[in-house]
Structure 1
Amino acid sequence: MMEQSVVSNMYGEITDDFLYFEDASDEFRGGKGTVAPLWKFLYEEAKGLCVTALCWSTEYNDLFAVGLGSYGYDIEDRGGMLLFYTRKKHTYPEFIFNTDSGVMCVDIHKELSELVVMGMTDGCVAVYSLLEENKQPICKATCLSPGKHSGRVMQVKWKKDDFDGKHNFLSVSADGRVVSWTLREGGKYSFLKEYDAHFPMSVQCVRWNPFHSQVFISCGLDWMVKIWDERMKSPVFTFDLRAEVMDVAWAPYSSTVFAAVTADGKVHVFDLSVKKYEALCQQIVVSKKKRPVKIEFNPVDPIIIVGDDRGHVISLKLSPNLRKKPENEEDQELPNGPEEEIAKMERLLSQTGEID
């Protein structure tokens, strides 16, 4: 608490920007907006590593995890790190975990925020607890574990606990498989089932819409972001961002808002309910010597975080136009509960063609 107070006093201007700054010029931008830089997060020991994963805690909305490793397949696996930062003390991580293999993906449990699962460069998956003082995984799938991946683990995701109260998660790997795992007593794994999940092109990220269960978004090194309805054979929206798209994320407050980062250092923010095929914001946020690789929305506050290939993480505040609630013809705010967000996306889908 003392450290947080000292940091808050030292960087009071940034805190004030986070709390109070609103870009008044948004009123004259025709619906477009900007992002304003806030805190920068850098751990000296992580400088030689690439940010490979970002994940906010849903229980403590100021806390987020940073996975560090490497995307280079021709580079020797030099190990990695898992760091936890809080925006209340951005100068040093709250938790530091060193890993034998590079970290590729991370997910924090929604109800038990002390549990975090990660996927590694060597194909292993591991679960850590922030409550464990020895900084070792409480469970880990080794080379001898049934179902262990033979390629890099690109995504991990917690599922709902099963009927016996056991924790479950999914892992997606470059070996073309999706594997479902469950944690058993004593820290052992049970291999449940696997699915074919081969993508013929290089896909950087796939994410389901947080409101509409049949809509997902994907991005790749072909410069494209695509939005899909699982009931249709082809994408319902396609966006050419003119550079390799490294990551994409849905906003937690709107079914039609998403953001992407591209290799040329830009953040792109779209709201399909405002402009279907044009970004509301395209802004350079990373210098030419660095490349942004990951992006995440905060679950509550109007900020996003962006990680680059030098181990840095920056936070950015969204201007008012990038987080406006929809208005009706009388310029009154409409309710934006889950039902309205689903209906908003359905209206967009109905304008793109017939659903199979």
Structure 2
Amino acid sequence: MISMRNTLVKRTLNERDRTLHERERTLYEREHVIREKSALVEAIKQLCDMKDKQYLEDKHDRAERIQGTIAVFTLNNNHPDTLIHTESTVLSIDCLSSKPYLICVGLMDGDVIVYDISIPSGKAVFTNTSYMCKHYGCVWQVRWCNLSTNHQPRFFSIGSDGKVMRWTCIKGELRQVLLFDLPSATKPTRLDDGTLLSLPGPAIALDFHRNRKDIFLVGTEDGKIYKASTSDPGIIDMTFDAHDFAVYSIQWSPFHPNIFASCSADGTVKIWHEKITECLMRFDLCTSLQDIAWSPYTSTMFTIAGADGKVYIFDIHSNKLEPICEQLLANESGKTCTKIAFNPIHPILLVGDQTGWTSCLKLSPNLRKKAKIRKGIEFADNYEREFDKLAQELSRTVAGDSMNDILIDQTNDIED
């Protein structure tokens, strides 16, 4: 009897062990299947991410590989005298005043090149040989500004990566120096590992002071304008909360050393004093404004290129509320005027649109009148009529004697 009981107990224990072993095996197989499925799903995700990344890279590369063209015209010929083809789309260009045959060019792929247009086919005389030292995005603006004491040409560039760079032309190469990174336009994002990621504020507009060559203004995509100096890299002297949307263009007044104007995608034009954070005058137009240019003939006149295909001309001496002239250049819907510039000698206005056309407009005599000297008033030897004209018109828009004193003061920050 005892042996039979022991046999039954052993069988029962063996069956229980067998059952537990089968359960453990089943659980192990299920976990193994789950791991394989998870690994498969992760592999599919990585493959999709790689394909998306490759698609984006290919799309970006295709955008960068779109060739650009530089066309050099003369006023007596509507066909270009010189055509220069670039490997990437041309977004900005500027001529060196002391050597007009040298032009610096900013490209979509983040590169900058200096060409010599005196050569019929055009020649890249200064190039960037280091692909690590360039903008990681579009170069929206380039400006010559010769600050070098050894007479080496220098220009500055800004891009969508929020960097302000200085380039020096030395022995066929471009030597780059990073001045500073613009502040982030958005709040920092915390990643999974705890690090904070902040995106730079893209820089779109750039202009240097007419007299103080080290002072410049930068307009950003988030509507801010920063005033800084090349003598103090990384330091922002003043910040203007200028517009609600991107600042597309900034330009210092050629007659008043402390006045500049800006236009934006929010459809507003504003006139500023460099020492005052509030704008002196504001004009509202029902379209995005792409570019602004002060008139070289009279201090109170400036012109605007609109996204609606129109050119707006303002003269705050004649009318402080609305433009004195509107000219429709793009008859087709959807065409945008992108760039505008005055000829400093001849009464000519050049306007470029997004389709690649450049229009040449001749200004009427009423749009280039000089300021008249008031009779019966004695002026100092250094009296400047156009400066006084602009200062008087702006002083009528502000209140307080202190503001008027600031407007009529021609001294700059360095002399102060």
TM-score, length basis structure 1: 0.71
In structure 2, what is the equivalent of residue 326 of structure 1? Answer: 371
Change (3 A) 1:256 1:338: farther
Unaligned runs of 5+ in 2: 1-59, 183-217, 224-245, 408-416
Is the CA contact 1:153–1:172 (under 8 Å) kept in the aligned structure 2?
yes
Which residue of 310, 320, 326 maps to 2:355? 310
Give the Å deviation of 1:323.
Answer: 1.3
Q: 1:143 deviation in Å? A: 5.8
Counterpart residue type for residue 139 of structure 1 = F
Alignment check: 8 A CA contact 1:224 1:241 kept: yes
The structure that is helix-richer by fraction is: 2
Higher mean displacement: 217-226 or 186-195:
186-195
Give the CA deviation at 1:142: 5.4
Q: Residue 216 in 1 paired to residue 265 in 2?
A: no
Counterpart amino acid of residue 355 in structure 2: R
Between 1:312-321 and 1:195-204, the stretch displaced more is 195-204
Deviation at 1:274, TM superposition (A): 2.1
CA distance in 2, matches of 1:131, 1:250: 28
Change (3 A) 1:311 1:275: same
Match of 1:200 in 2: 222
Instruction: From 80, 96, 99, give the equivalent of 2:68.
Output: 80
Give the secondary structure class of the aligned counterpart of 2:393: helix
- Does the aligned pair in 1 maintain the 2:82–2:122 contact within 8 Å? no
Greater Cα offset, 344-353 or 154-163: 344-353
- Count of aligned pairs between the two proteins: 279
> In the alignment, what sits opposite 2:300?
256
User: Any idea what the Cα deviations from partners look like across 1:301-326, whole Å, max 9, x if unmatched?
Assistant: 11111111111111111112211223
Sort the Cα spacing of 1:338 and 1:267 in 2 relative to 1 into closer, same or farther, 3 A. farther
Unmatched tracts of structure 1, length 5 or more:
1-72
Counterparts of residues 27-176 of structure 1 (less than 5 Å): 76-77=63-64, 78-90=66-78, 92-132=79-119, 135-141=122-128, 144-146=131-133, 148-176=134-162
RMSD: 2.7
The Cα shift of 1:134 comes to 5.7
Distance in 1, Cα, partners of 2:101 & 2:327: 35
For residues 274 and 353 of structure 2, the distance between their equivalents in structure 1, rounded to whole angstroms, comes to: 31
| Aligned partners of 1:115 and 1:129 also within 8 Å | yes
- Return the alpha-carbon distance in structure 1 between the equivalents of residues 172 and 347 of structure 2: 41
Q: Which amino acid aligns with 2:76?
A: K
Deviation of 1:206 (Å): 1.2
Q: In the TM superposition, what whole-angstrom CA distance separates every residue of 1:215-265 from its partner, at most 9, and x where no partner exists? A: 211111111111111111021111111111121111112222110121222
The amino acid that maps onto 2:310 is K
Q: RCO greater where, 1 or 2, for CA within 8 Å and sep 6 or more? A: 1
Matches of 2:374 and 2:253 in 1, distance apart? 27
C-alpha deviation, 1:133, in angstroms: 5.5
Query: For the pair shown, which has the larger CA radius of gyration, 1 or 2?
Result: 2
User: What is the Cα deviation at residue 140 of structure 1?
Assistant: 2.2
Find the residue that maps to 1:82 and give its secondary structure: strand
Amino acid at match of 1:212: H
Matching of residue 343 in structure 1 with residue 330 in structure 2: no
1:132 is displaced (CA, Å) by 4.0
2:384 aligned counterpart, secondary structure: helix
- Residue identity (%): 35
CA contact under 8 A between 1:179 and 1:195: conserved in structure 2? no
What aligned pairs does 1:237-256 form with structure 2 within 5 A after superposition?
A: 237-256=281-300
